[in-house]
Amino acid sequence: MLVNHEQYRTIWPNFEHAQPCVEIIDQTKLPHVFEVASLTTLAQMIVAIKTMQVRGAPLIGAAAAYGIALSTLDSCADRHLQQSAEQLIASRPTAVNLRWAVQRMLSALLRLPDAQRQSAAWAEAALICDEDVQLNQAIGKHGLTLIHAQHQQKARTINILTHCNAGWLATVDFGTALAPIYAAHNAGIHVHVWVGETRPRNQGASLTAWELGQHGVPHTVISDNAGGHLMQQGQVDMVIVGADRVTAAGDVCNKIGTYLKALAAFDSVALGHHVPFYAAVPSPTIDWNIEDGVKSIEIEERDAEELSWMSGKLSDGTIASVNILPHGTQVANPAFDVTPARLVTGIITERGVFTPQQLRTMQR
């Protein structure tokens, strides 16, 4: 995708130095500063994942794969790789892609002689990244059919509400929830995106708005609580979100606040405004071992400072953080919630659009 009219991925290897490194777009600096960070060790990759320099389920998986590749610079022994895998898996517990990517890396490496593992690790991580791009392009193609159908029916701009950031910044490239939107925009279909700010880290306001602006897609940032009102007023034609994990039954675990958007969309039917609710996910995000997301998915509890402090640009251009809570206030900061399958219209995948009840057919 485009940054100042130049094509980028969110993560890539660099072999031009004496020791290989992994370069990432540091998403904690956006939208005010575009900065590429170079990571040379497993420890640095774990910090990048924990602090959300890289974030989004597919990108976390790709980052973890490159984390294993970086760990081979220290040792390719079985025990070292297994310990590296355990550290990566523990870095963020909710997104299933991370564990999937780490297990895939171990499966590819442990069967090889030690002398072949380092080169194989870099190759396998690159393959995971390339496959992610292909999956997201396919998601965009299938989601485009949904937007095109709405456009043909209504013959006007299609208003799409999204939550958090599930664009190319959350993946290696193209995105999940935003992939159909980019495809529609590129096809000449008039779309407009309602971007929920997504407290407390403001990924919608900071990241989604930034990347939509870079690509020229019309959008409007709204407060998190405005989505239901817009649906009541008939100003939302569909909701498309990403996910950090989808269960075999079609429950969708995504950024906190997604459940409220789904409830509002579901209730819109009673008001005469049918607003379908879709989650766009590549197949590695589907956890076939879990049925009930509410009971079975571990919800990450993040640091209280994410809620009590806000970062922004001052009038003199300085980036600063300010405390917005009274001293001593207790804070709870769950990072995700689970939308039950009964509220989900469809899951947009690289293989097509499935209702939650049809999702298991993907395993065949």
Same domain, 102 and 182: no
Residues 188, 127 share a domain: no
Do residues 321 and 201 both lie within one domain? Answer: yes
With cut-offs at 50, 70 and 90, classify the pLDDT of residue 130. very high
Domain count, the chain: 2
Residues 169 and 271 in one domain: yes
184-197: pLDDT as tens digits: 999 999 999 999 99
Note whether 224 and 344 are same-domain residues: yes
Residues 127 and 208 in one domain: no
Res 93 pLDDT > 90: no
Domain boundary among the residues 131, 150, 167 is at 131
Instruction: Specify the pTM.
Output: 0.94
For residue 212, the model assigns a pLDDT of 97
Q: Is 244 a catalytic residue?
A: yes
CATH number at residue 13: 1.20.120.420
Question: Are 286 and 357 part of one and the same domain?
Answer: yes
Show binding-site residues for substrate. Answer: 55-57, 92, 203, 254-255
Confidence class for position 88, pLDDT limits 50, 70, 90: very high
* Known binding-site positions: 55-57, 92, 203, 254-255
Q: Give the 3-state secondary structure of the chain.
A: CEECCEECCCEEEECCCCCCEEEEECCCCCCCCCCEEEECCHHHHHHHHHCCCCCCHHHHHHHHHHHHHHHCCCCCCHHHHHHHHHHHHHHCCCCHHHHHHHHHHHHHHCCCCHHHHHHHHHHHHHHHHHHHHHHHHHHHHHHHHHHHHHHHHHCCCEEEEECCCCCHHHCCCCCCCCHHHHHHHHCCCCEEEEEECCCCCCHHHHHHHHHHHHHCCCEEEECHHHHHHHHHCCCCCEEEECCCEEECCCCEEEECCHHHHHHHHHHHHHHCCCCCEEEECCHHHEECCCCCHHHHCCCCECCCHHHHEEEEECCCCCEEEEECCCCCCCCCCECEEEECHHHCCEEEECCEEECHHHHHHHHC
* Residues 198 and 317 occupy one common structural domain: yes
Is 218 found in the same domain as 125?
A: no
161 and 118 in one domain?
no
What percent of the chain has pLDDT above 90? Answer: 93
Select which of 173, 244, 251, 287 is catalytic: 244
| Same domain membership, residue 336 and residue 237 | yes
User: Where is the domain boundary, 109, 131, 153?
Assistant: 131
Position 359 scores a pLDDT of: 95
- Asked if residue 192 and residue 172 are part of one domain, the reply reads yes
Last residue of a domain, one of 108, 131, 154: 131
Mean pLDDT (the chain, rounded): 95
Range of the domain at 254: 139-363
For residue 270, give the CATH number of its domain. 3.40.50.10470
